[in-house]
Amino acid sequence: MSENNDKRLFLVDAYAMIFRGYYALIRSPRITSSGMDTSAIFGFTNSLIELIRRQKPTQLAVVFDVGKTNVRTEDFADYKANRSDTPEAIQLAIPYIHRILQAMHIPILGVEGYEADDVIGTIACKAEKQGYTVYMVTPDKDFAQLVTPNIKIYKPGLKGAEFEILGVEEVQAKYGIKDPKQVIDFLAMMGDAVDNIPGLEGVGEKTATKFLQQYGSLENLLEHTHELKGKLKEKVENSAERGRMSKRLATIICDVPVDFEHEKYDLETPDFEQVRQVFDEIEFRRLYETLYRAFSEDKVSTGAEVLEPAKEGATQLDLFSSFDDLEQATSQKASLDSSQTLYQLIDNSTAVKALVKTLLEKDSVCFDTETTSLNELEAQLVGISFSYRKGLAYYVPIPTKLEQRSQTLELLRPFFESTKVEKVAHNLKYDYKVLYMHGVQVQEPYFDTMIAHYLLNPDGRHGMDYLAQMHLNYEPISLESLIGKKGKGQGLFNELPLETQRDYSCEDADITFQLYELFRPELEKSELLTLFKEVEMPLLQVLAGMELRGVQLDRGWLEKESKDLESDLKALEEKVFSLSGETFNLNSPKQLGDILFERLGLDPKAKKTKSGQYATSEDILQKLSAAHPVIEPILEYRTYQKLKSTYVDALPLQIDAHDSRVHTNFSQTTAATGRLSSLNPNLQNIPIRTLRGQQIRGAFVASRGHRIISADYSQIELRLIAEIAKEQSMIEAFLKGEDIHASTASKLFNVPLQEVSKLQRSQAKTVNFGIIYGQGAFGLSQQTGLSRSEAKSMIDAYFATYPNLKSWMANQVEEARQKGYVQTLLGRRRYLKDINSRNFVVRGHAERNAVNAPIQGSAADLIKMAMIRIDRLFNEKNLKTEMLLQVHDELVFESPLDEIETASLLIKTQMEEVYETKVPLLVEVGVGKNWLEAH
DNA sequence: AAGCAGCA
DNA sequence: TGCTGCTT
């Protein structure tokens, strides 16, 4: 293994890698059955094994910080202070990682009193002298200073991203410098927040780069400060000493008392049995197979070849089913490659026909489309892959020429339009829309693996590459590595060689099919299959329809409003400048804060945000409005600026040139409660509160001969709370048709309903609202301006009025503790792993979610059901009315004039009768030429 | 609270 | 990346 001409030493920066692994998984951490967070261990170990598998180091060691690091702390007491609050999961991880490394026979290094950086630096230098090529394995940019022709940085790829190797040239290019050593000067000038290196005052990345090009080093800069001008000159001169200290802090020490004993670092075969024991303990199942493979694959002997981030051919897609036990693996070693996957190109009509015939005999078939664009409306089909068995997939290229393309699609049509075969895909709505634009309408039954995972784990991430790694322990070819990063230089999928297209696409279909096999039984086990089949899958098609349809905007009005706002803003800006006696960028909260609190000294105890800036949010400014006349125009400026930039100017840019309509995208897998979310553009946050904001809704217009119908559930969440918690007095209020906030106030303040004051009603409303959003006592005081204890007693009074509500809430929390999750009316789950946390902030959050998720989620369930039924009835009755938008408790339609009454009634009835409840569900319907009038 | 988005 | 602000 260790030929002389191949001496490649990898030094792993342990803590940096552990942190990185931990944060990479922070959104869906790995938790064992006993509740231990093993994300950090997994992240680290996975990267390490990946490194061994792909790079085949000859020498390898892992370096930790040991004991107190006092060499630098003498210099600057705060050094690395920011790192002290290490998460619990990381502290817990260290002993396990040590055990794993020992079992793998990988040396653990560390020198008391020195940073791991310094140990790595020292060993790297020594190894270089002995003819080694050294790779420092770390995401930390500080190491760039050590780079030489034989010492490089190996930056592992994060989740699907490729790894990076930084040699001299890369470092030069990245920092715009001649010598990697200048990285020290660079850090000394700009500072580094993570390591608490202060840097020079007023110098950031840009300025530091400029200085380096001009002066070459910190010292030289400090000698020439007289050449600088203005504020910057002053700041740099004042912080010169700080700069020199920063340079000492940033310098990695290369004379740590440690030797490089190369024979100890030879990469040896692990003690598999021992590794397995540790893995078993922390419930790592698939990682063991990866480890075994890393050591059983053919060794590659020349460094240069291995280090090219080359793609492995798709034929090497490993299927670890055959690695279930060690013996089998041993006997198969090195020969498993092409035997287990078959990715076939289907490029003539005879073969396509045969394929479709086969597909039509299957119960479930997975497919994946490849296109030229992420925008479904303009995407051209390039190819489609199919898979119905693990390891097996077919790729059908779709010709560019119209005639041949239609021919191919006609051959495929029977499959897509079959009502027997279940069509499996990841993010099926995308494929549905693309095919729809090509004249093919994919029919139910559907199985979207992305949505399946969303139901199984609504808080997690649902991307295919990510799921492949988590559930199949497999890293797919990244599209980016084939066609380049997003932006100008990005290539098109159809320009790739056919074999590459085939391998990439088949792999996706194959993986999706494997995910399907995994998730389907899981859905069943969690009793989510009905929700999935009856609600989410049918909804997919409804949403696709809404997105394809889009909504018409009044471009002329928006353009005029933009000009009006522009001139209003100009006037306000001048007013602010003259009142404050200074001109600055009003859009910069940072500059605004400085002016208000430094120059005008408005509030000596001004609040700061956590990054040290002055907070200038609306509620803070509002309190100051009496203190200075400048505040009022600032607030007004803010409001208008927001309207202009976010809506008036942004919306016209999203108008599609083909049909002059805006096509938003509804995400069915983003909000953990079960709500939808809308993006590109977000049409769920169009203003309504203020008069001028409202006008924007007027720009959402019905097309000629049509009207907008808006239908909104009145107080659906409160009604559901009353229903689910069986809160009798609240139910009665709804039955009597009372104003619920007034009714709450009447009970809360013990006054007759007729005598409830405005303030009382508004306070009751805030409490009701707080319950819905699970805000708790703490948020309430913020919202109302009441003191903490006043808010507290208000909530006590609230619970005294609604005792069943209180006990229902307590019940939810209890249920979450026992089962680990809470449920909506339709069985949608939200897992709350923090419900037993010892940290009361974290636990409190989970507890509020235990109450909030079933309410918000149930409301989401109901409106989703209503959408499906309305859509079906429109089709059955052949109505031309079309659903355009959903805004959580509101549906917006576009209806031909002669259908308005029929459609309105149908909509209202379906929404109100969507689910049988004791509390009546009330829907308010409005009609108008635009969304504003319809409200 | 939790979505999305604009801006520096 | 952090801050701010719009909706429900």
Q: Would you tell me how many other CB atoms lie within 10 Å of the CB of residue A32?
A: 12
Determine the distance between A692 (CA) and C5 (C1') in angstroms.
15
Predicted local distance difference test score (pLDDT) of residue A196: 72
Tell if A646 CB is < 7 Å from nucleic strand B: yes
pLDDT tens across A734-784, in order? 999 999 999 999 999 999 999 999 989 988 998 898 888 777 677 777 777
Closest listed residue to residue A203, CA positions, set A220, A217, A191, A218: A191
Tell me the pLDDT band of A612, cut-offs 50, 70 and 90. Answer: confident
Smallest CA–C1' separation from A682: which nucleotide?
B4
For domain A726-853, the CATH superfamily is 5' to 3' exonuclease, C-terminal subdomain (1.10.150.20)
A894 vs A59, A63, A397, A686, A865, CA distance in Å?
A: 68, 64, 38, 18, 20
- Pairing verdict, β A151-155 and A364-371: unpaired
Token pair, residue A917, equals 């409840």
Q: Would you tell me how many other CB atoms lie within 10 Å of the CB of residue A601?
A: 10
Smallest CA–C1' separation from A645: which nucleotide?
B6
Predicted local distance difference test score (pLDDT) of residue A148: 94
* 3-state SS record for A16-80: HHHHHHHHHCCCCCCECCCCCECHHHHHHHHHHHHHHHHHCCCEEEEECCCCCCHHHHCCCCCCC
> Cα A456 vs. chain centroid, distance in angstroms?
17
Smallest CA–C1' separation from A670: which nucleotide?
B3
Determine the distance between A836 (CA) and B2 (C1') in angstroms.
22
Q: Which residue is nearest to nucleotide B4 (CA to C1')?
A: A682
Smallest CA–C1' separation from A890: which nucleotide?
C8
Tell if A679 CB is < 7 Å from nucleic strand B: yes
Token pair, residue A440, equals 């093919």
| Type of residue numbered A361 | E
Nucleotides of C under 7 A from a protein CB: 2-8
Smallest CA–C1' separation from A643: which nucleotide?
C6
Smallest CA–C1' separation from A685: which nucleotide?
C7
The angle subtended at Cα A467 by Cα A95 and Cα A509, nearest 5°, is 145
Q: Would you tell me how many other CB atoms lie within 10 Å of the CB of residue A603?
A: 15
Predicted local distance difference test score (pLDDT) of residue A451: 96
Predicted local distance difference test score (pLDDT) of residue A318: 29
Predicted local distance difference test score (pLDDT) of residue A783: 74
Question: Would the pLDDT of A50 be above 90?
Answer: no
Predicted local distance difference test score (pLDDT) of residue A551: 96
Tell me the pLDDT band of A596, cut-offs 50, 70 and 90. Answer: confident
Residue A930 DSSP class = B
Predicted local distance difference test score (pLDDT) of residue A151: 95
Q: Which residue is nearest to nucleotide B1 (CA to C1')?
A: A773
The angle subtended at Cα A40 by Cα A38 and Cα A45, nearest 5°, is 95
Determine the distance between A407 (CA) and B4 (C1') in angstroms.
41
The stretch A629-636 carries a mean pLDDT of 88
Q: How far apart are CA A307 and CA A166, in angstroms?
A: 11
Predicted local distance difference test score (pLDDT) of residue A306: 34
Question: Would the pLDDT of A84 be above 60?
Answer: no
Determine the distance between A692 (CA) and C4 (C1') in angstroms.
19
Determine the distance between A784 (CA) and B7 (C1') in angstroms.
29
Tell if A766 CB is < 7 Å from nucleic strand B: no
Determine the distance between A660 (CA) and B8 (C1') in angstroms.
32
Predicted local distance difference test score (pLDDT) of residue A309: 31
Predicted local distance difference test score (pLDDT) of residue A592: 85
Question: Would the pLDDT of A298 be above 60?
Answer: no
Predicted local distance difference test score (pLDDT) of residue A532: 97
Q: Which of A274-278, A288-292, A632-636, A847-851 has the lowest mean pLDDT?
A: A288-292
Tell if A688 CB is < 7 Å from nucleic strand B: no
Instruction: Spell out the alpha helix ranges (H) of A67-204.
Output: 70-73, 88-103, 116-129, 168-175, 182-190
Highest mean pLDDT among A583-592, A777-786, A911-920: A911-920
Residues 770-789 of A with CB under 7 A from strand B: 773-776, 778-779
Tell if A377 CB is < 7 Å from nucleic strand B: no
Backbone angles phi, psi at A905, to 5 degrees: -65, -45
Tell me the pLDDT band of A336, cut-offs 50, 70 and 90. Answer: very low
What is the three-class DSSP state of A231? helix
Q: Which residue is nearest to nucleotide B3 (CA to C1')?
A: A677
Q: Considering Cα of A714, then A717, then A720, then A721, what sign does the dihedral take?
A: negative
Tell if A848 CB is < 7 Å from nucleic strand B: yes
Residue A192 DSSP class = B
Determine the distance between A664 (CA) and B4 (C1') in angstroms.
12
Predicted local distance difference test score (pLDDT) of residue A27: 67
Tell if A915 CB is < 7 Å from nucleic strand B: no
Long-range CB contacts (< 8 A, 24+ apart) of A281-284?
A: A282/A32, A282/A36, A282/A38, A282/A41, A282/A96, A283/A32, A283/A33, A283/A38, A284/A38, A284/A41, A284/A42, A284/A45
pLDDT tens across A88-126, in order? 778 888 889 999 999 999 999 998 888 899 999 999 999
Determine the distance between A274 (CA) and C1 (C1') in angstroms.
43
Question: Would the pLDDT of A209 be above 90?
Answer: no
Smallest CA–C1' separation from A774: which nucleotide?
B1
Q: Which residue is nearest to nucleotide B7 (CA to C1')?
A: A587
Determine the distance between A686 (CA) and C6 (C1') in angstroms.
7
Residues 188-217 of A with CB under 7 A from strand B: none
CATH number of A555-655: 1.20.1060.10
Highest mean pLDDT among A136-150, A612-626, A794-808, A886-900: A886-900
Tell me the pLDDT band of A854, cut-offs 50, 70 and 90. Answer: very high
CB A654 within 8 A of CB A681: yes
Predicted local distance difference test score (pLDDT) of residue A178: 86
pLDDT tens across A447-458, in order? 999 999 999 999
A101 compared with A473, residue with greater pLDDT: A101
Question: Would the pLDDT of A397 be above 60?
Answer: yes
Smallest CA–C1' separation from A713: which nucleotide?
C8
Looking at the structure, give the CATH architecture of the domain made up of residues A8-265.
3-Layer(aba) Sandwich (3.40)
Q: Which residue is nearest to nucleotide C6 (CA to C1')?
A: A685
Q: Which residue is nearest to nucleotide C3 (CA to C1')?
A: A589
Determine the distance between A844 (CA) and B1 (C1') in angstroms.
13
- Pairing verdict, β A59-63 and A364-371: unpaired
Q: How far apart are CA A471 and CA A283, in angstroms?
A: 13
Smallest CA–C1' separation from A684: which nucleotide?
C7
Tell me the pLDDT band of A65, cut-offs 50, 70 and 90. Answer: confident
Determine the distance between A849 (CA) and B2 (C1') in angstroms.
11
Which residues make Cβ contacts (< 8 Å) with residue A55, sequence separation at least 6? Answer: A8, A10, A135, A154, A306, A307
Predicted local distance difference test score (pLDDT) of residue A701: 96
Residues with CB under 7 A from strand C: A 589, 593, 609-611, 613, 615-618, 621, 638-639, 642, 646, 684-690, 693, 887-890
Q: Which of A150-164, A218-232, A256-270, A817-831 has the lowest mean pLDDT?
A: A150-164
Question: Would the pLDDT of A488 be above 70?
Answer: no
Q: Which residue is nearest to nucleotide B6 (CA to C1')?
A: A646
Determine the distance between A618 (CA) and C5 (C1') in angstroms.
9
Question: Would the pLDDT of A542 be above 90?
Answer: yes
What is the three-class DSSP state of A268? coil
Determine the distance between A741 (CA) and B8 (C1') in angstroms.
42
Backbone angles phi, psi at A30, to 5 degrees: -90, 125
Determine the distance between A588 (CA) and C2 (C1') in angstroms.
12
Nucleotides of B under 7 A from a protein CB: 1-8
Predicted local distance difference test score (pLDDT) of residue A647: 93
Residues 450-479 of A with CB under 7 A from strand B: none
Predicted local distance difference test score (pLDDT) of residue A210: 82
Q: Which residue is nearest to nucleotide C4 (CA to C1')?
A: A617
The stretch A597-623 carries a mean pLDDT of 81
**Average per-residue pLDDT for chain A:** 86
A383 vs A10, A409, A464, A500, A645, CA distance in Å?
A: 41, 10, 18, 12, 39
Tell if A613 CB is < 7 Å from nucleic strand B: no
Token pair, residue A303, equals 């460094």
Q: Which residue is nearest to nucleotide C8 (CA to C1')?
A: A888
> Cα A78 vs. chain centroid, distance in angstroms?
33
Determine the distance between A329 (CA) and C7 (C1') in angstroms.
56
Closest listed residue to residue A56, CA positions, set A225, A257, A306: A306
Tell me the pLDDT band of A158, cut-offs 50, 70 and 90. Answer: low
Smallest CA–C1' separation from A856: which nucleotide?
C8
Q: How far apart are CA A831 and CA A829, in angstroms?
A: 6
DSSP code per residue over A753-783: GGG--HHHHHHHHHHHHHHHTT-HHHHHHHH
CB A603 within 8 A of CB A628: no
Tell me the pLDDT band of A909, cut-offs 50, 70 and 90. Answer: very high
Predicted local distance difference test score (pLDDT) of residue A583: 84
Provide Rg for chain A, Cα atoms.
Answer: 32
Determine the distance between A589 (CA) and C6 (C1') in angstroms.
18
User: E strands of A236-363, at which residues?
Assistant: 342-345
Q: How far apart are CA A191 and CA A184, in angstroms?
A: 10
A606 compared with A742, residue with greater pLDDT: A742
Question: Would the pLDDT of A69 be above 50?
Answer: no
Q: Where are the domains of chain A?
A: 8-265, 342-482+491-525, 555-655, 726-853
Long-range CB contacts (< 8 A, 24+ apart) of A218-226?
A: A218/A185, A218/A188, A218/A189, A218/A243, A218/A244, A218/A247, A221/A189
Smallest CA–C1' separation from A679: which nucleotide?
B4
Determine the distance between A838 (CA) and C4 (C1') in angstroms.
32
Q: Which residue is nearest to nucleotide B8 (CA to C1')?
A: A588
Predicted local distance difference test score (pLDDT) of residue A303: 33
Q: How far apart are CA A932 and CA A861, in angstroms?
A: 26
Tell if A650 CB is < 7 Å from nucleic strand B: yes
Tell if A584 CB is < 7 Å from nucleic strand B: no
Q: How far apart are CA A534 and CA A517, in angstroms?
A: 20
Q: Which residue is nearest to nucleotide C7 (CA to C1')?
A: A685
Q: What's the fold here for domain A342-482+491-525?
A: Nucleotidyltransferase; domain 5 (3.30.420)
Q: How far apart are CA A159 and CA A470, in angstroms?
A: 10
Q: Which residue is nearest to nucleotide C1 (CA to C1')?
A: A611
The stretch A713-733 carries a mean pLDDT of 94
Determine the distance between A56 (CA) and B8 (C1') in angstroms.
45
